[in-house]
Amino acid sequence: MHGRQHHNIQLNEEGGLRHFLTIDGLGRDLLTRILDTAESFATLPGRPVKKVPALRGRIITNLFFENSTRTRTTFELAAKRLSADVLNFNVSTSATSKGETLLDTLRNIEAMHCEMFVVRHNESGAAHFIARHAAPGVSVINAGDGRHAHPTQAMLDMFTIRKHKGDFTPLRVAIVGDILHSRVARSQILALNTLGVTEVRVVGPRTLIPTDARALGVHVYHDLDEGLREVDVVIMLRLQKERMAGALLPSEEEYFRLYGLTNERLEAAKPDAIVMHPGPMNRSVEMDSEVADGPRSVILQQVSYGIAVRMAIMSMCMQTFEADGRPA
């Protein structure tokens, strides 16, 4: 495993982060180092996150092939908190429409001295493709590619879990909803298993669970009450409403009846279980408002911690930190 990491496109020769494309192939030490670095950027609730000069004068480009104001904003904020300069390229409206190839667009932005691309694309593998073709010294962060991966979301989820539960080892975690189409779920499962939790469960209708789910190292449940029994963490996934039309799902009401989270159903979980959601949330579809706004919901903390976690990943990729986690 250690030997393999040294050939992972995500790592530099010293085993430090260069790109951040997927949780796959990253070891527990590295994930823990990301969480520890994020801890140094996070602050007390209600206080603004620290602004630090770590990336002053460095240029980061948001290269979004899929529009997502919120995700772009969290990366932009993280970059600004690090004092970097940020370029926003909405690719559908810029040079590629003039017949230029994607690689020429990349080369051009690199030539403007950009040292990092944050990439969002609706095709799986897009961030890897860009990373494989990036110039030396240029890092790529995957902000979501197709159904493949959304690793910064998974890491902010891990950070939130660690804040509340401390140790990952004894935890049982249930991920509920549309596992089949979810890049978030795929990255969460990899991160939870790498960090050594006791059990990861996926809960959802047969039509929304991948047929090879067990190969991912999870237990599969089709009944919500069974799936939630004695878990420490409940992660509800966003339901893409367009799945309804595609006959993969019954009505919203029927979905909520079977898989929607209520305080009553949450009683199956441990008394101190926390409830998470990557947002944006469909209230009364994925969960009841009494759960979303209740004492066990940590949904808004996920958003807050997202800034610090992205700051950590960005600064580690740009080698402001040494491979051993000390500032460069």
When the beta carbons of 17 and 84 are compared against a copy of itself, the nearer one is 84
Q: What does the alpha-carbon distance between residue 53 and residue 62 come to, in Å, rounded to a whole number?
A: 20
Among 12, 40, 87, 146, contact with a copy of itself (rule: CB under 8 A): 87
Q: Position of tokens 């980061």?
A: 60
Task: Return the range that interacts with a copy of itself (CB under 8 A); candidates 32-40, 152-160, 259-267, 281-289.
Answer: 281-289
Per CB under 8 A, 67 contacts a copy of itself: yes
Q: What is the biggest distance separating any 2 CA atoms in the chain, rounded to whole angstroms?
A: 58
| Beta carbons within 8 Å of 281's beta carbon, 6+ residues apart | 238, 287, 292, 299
Q: Which helix (H) or strand (E) holds 116?
A: strand 114-121
Per CB under 8 A, 95 contacts a copy of itself: yes
When the beta carbons of 29 and 100 are compared against a copy of itself, the nearer one is 100
Among 122, 241, 267, 322, contact with a copy of itself (rule: CB under 8 A): 241
Centre a 10 Å sphere on the Cβ of residue 107 and count the other Cβ atoms it contains: 14
> Residue 188 in contact with residue 22, Cβ under 8 Å?
no
Touching a copy of itself, residues 146-185 (CB under 8 A):
none
Among 3, 46, 246, 295, contact with a copy of itself (rule: CB under 8 A): 46
Among 14, 36, 101, 322, contact with a copy of itself (rule: CB under 8 A): 101
Among 53, 108, 123, 253, contact with a copy of itself (rule: CB under 8 A): 108
Per CB under 8 A, 9 contacts a copy of itself: no
Q: What does the alpha-carbon distance between residue 22 and residue 148 come to, in Å, rounded to a whole number?
A: 8
> Residue 260 in contact with residue 284, Cβ under 8 Å?
yes
When the beta carbons of 124 and 240 are compared against a copy of itself, the nearer one is 240
> Residue 12 in contact with residue 23, Cβ under 8 Å?
no
Strand order across the 199-203 sheet: 219-221, 199-203, 172-176, 233-236, 274-276
Per CB under 8 A, 64 contacts a copy of itself: no
Q: What does the alpha-carbon distance between residue 146 and residue 269 come to, in Å, rounded to a whole number?
A: 32
Binding site for a copy of itself (CB under 8 A): 46-51, 56-59, 67, 69-70, 73-74, 76-77, 80-81, 85, 87, 89-90, 93-95, 98-101, 104-105, 107-108, 110-113, 115, 136-137, 241, 279-283, 300-301, 303-304, 306-307
